[in-house]
Every structure is written in C-alpha cells, then in structure tokens.
Amino acid sequence: MGQSQQRSSSIPMSEEKPHEMSHDLHHNLQVILQENQRLAEQLDPAAAAIIPLIQHANRVFVVGAGRTGLALKAAAMRLMHLGLTVFVVGETTTPAIAAGDLLLAGSGSGTTSTIVKAAEKAQAVGAQVVAISTTRESPLAALATQVVVLPAAQKQDHGGTISQQYAGSLFEQAVLLLTDAIFQTLWALDGTPAQELWKRHANLE
C-alpha cells in the first residue's frame, strides 16, 4: 500500500498556503499564551500554601490522569532535581505512602475515580493531600488538606466561554506552569547552584 493510500482521511489536506498556516499557528499560540496569562493573573492565593507543605513532607507523591498526569510527572522530575524524594503513583517502584508524606493530586473535575481513591488512601494513613483542580466542590477537594483552584475549563465544558482550547487543555497547561513556578520558588529558597542540580539529571538515557 502506497503512502498516499495510508494517509488517514479523517483530517483533510489543507488548501492553505504555508504563510497562511503560519499565521494560523501564530494566532493560536497567542490565544494559548493569553489564556494562560489571564489564568496566572487570577491565580488562587492558596497556591502559595503548597510551598511549606512540600518543604516539610518526608516524601512527595504525585498523581494525575492523562495529560494532567504527564504535567505532574514533569513536576516530579523537577522536584527530584531539587533533591527531594519524589514518586509517581502507579509506577512499579513507587512505595506505600505514609504519615508525614504529601500527595500532590491533579484533577480538573475532582471526580476522577483513580485520583479520588489515591487521595482516600493517602488521607487514611495520615498523609497530607494537595488537590489542584478547577473547583472546590468535589470528592477530591473534600479529601484535601489544601485545594488550589485553577480557573480553567473542565473537559466536558464545550461552551468556549472559559477557554477556546479543546477539552481540558488550559487546565493541563496551567498545572505544568504552576508546578514549574513552585519549583522555581523552592529553588530560590534552597539556593543550590544549577550545577549541583544538574548532577541529579538522569545519565542512563
């Protein structure tokens, strides 16, 4: 079968010229940046409370589904570079959570069953839970020590009033940006030179 026959018919070939597509890409990038800028300006003041919770935790566990989970994996990597003991829930080498630990849980709706169950188990053993969500009214929020609300659209909000982006894209982007900002803040407080952090980067790649 030739390459032309293998091409999916679900996305039609664009009739736009390259410079027109470049304009579209630039426009959409600006939409994404502007939405994240607006969200940053409305950032929940409670977000700052995450800093001491991470500082005082024995270990940090992160959990999220889909793209939110990927954003939290990125956060886990950066916290590891800072020298913290961090685990991603669901990985084969992740140990049991215990009292004194912190679970950083991300769910736009706060209803994702696997995330809620993880928070229930964390709370049951005496660990603290930070929920990053779009709402304070959810099963996850009810289990959390601290709730950080990101004013972004939930996956099923297709109205486009909060975000022009598809599904939970703005929330997922905001989780990544927020946790990067948390890392930057912790790094500034820690004061470890970048050269020292670099030694913790993976060398078995």
The neighbour count for residue 25, using CB atoms within 10 Å, is 10
DSSP strand pairing (128-133 vs 102-106): parallel
CB contact set of 19 (below 8 Å; sequence gap of 6+): none
- To the query of whether residue 172 is one of the catalytic residues in this protein, the response is yes
Under 8 Å between Cβ of 197 and 77: no
Report DSSP letters for 118-131, one per residue.
HHHHHHHTT-EEEE
The span from the CA of 113 to the CA of 61, in Å, is 17
Please tell me which residue in 137, 172, 196, 205 is annotated as part of the active site: 172
Alpha helices for 18-168 (secondary structure H): 18-41, 50-56, 66-81, 113-124, 139-143
Non-local CB neighbours of 40 within 8 Å, separated by 6+ positions? 177
- What residues are labeled active site? 172
